[in-house]
């Protein structure tokens, strides 16, 4: 898939929600006060669960990423709030049903 993006010239097309989810999971993984498995499988499972439950938020230019308009900024805030709702659920689901 990534090769298709490159071949078609869509390298700038990006799901910002994915970056936001991965950043938050990375932060959670560093929080030693939380009790959950931090192996790559469990972290990826958490990411997949959250990403399937939040709306995608695509942008297609560096300008939009670095200087978002009011509407895009509002949507970023909405997705961020949704991620915060879904992360604890995903963490608990993976904790109780890990794949290893």
Distance CA 33, CA 47 (A): 20
Distance CA 53, CA 96 (A): 19
* pLDDT score of 61: 67
* pLDDT score of 68: 65
In total, how many domains does the chain have? 1
Mean pLDDT of 30-59: 96
pLDDT tens digits, 59-69: 886 666 666 67
Quote the pTM value: 0.85
* pLDDT score of 100: 72
Domain of 29, in residue numbers: 2-96
Q: How would you write the chain as a 3-class SS string? A: CHHHHHHHCCCCCEEHHHHHHHHHHHHHHHCCCCCCCCCHHHHHHHHHHHHHHCCCCEECCHHHHHCCCHHHHHHHHHHHHHHHHHHHHHHHHHHHCCCC
């Amino acid at each position: 898939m990534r090769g298709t993006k490159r071949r078609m010239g869509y390298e700038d097309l990006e799901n910002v929600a994915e970056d936001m989810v991965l950043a938050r999971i990375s932060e959670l993984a560093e929080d030693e006060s939380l009790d959950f498995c931090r192996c790559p499988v469990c972290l990826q499972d958490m990411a997949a669960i959250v990403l399937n439950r939040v709306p995608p938020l695509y942008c297609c230019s560096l300008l939009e990423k670095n200087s978002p308009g009011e509407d895009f900024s509002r949507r970023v805030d909405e997705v961020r709030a949704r991620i915060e709702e879904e992360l604890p659920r995903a963490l608990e689901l993976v904790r109780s049903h890990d794949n290893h």
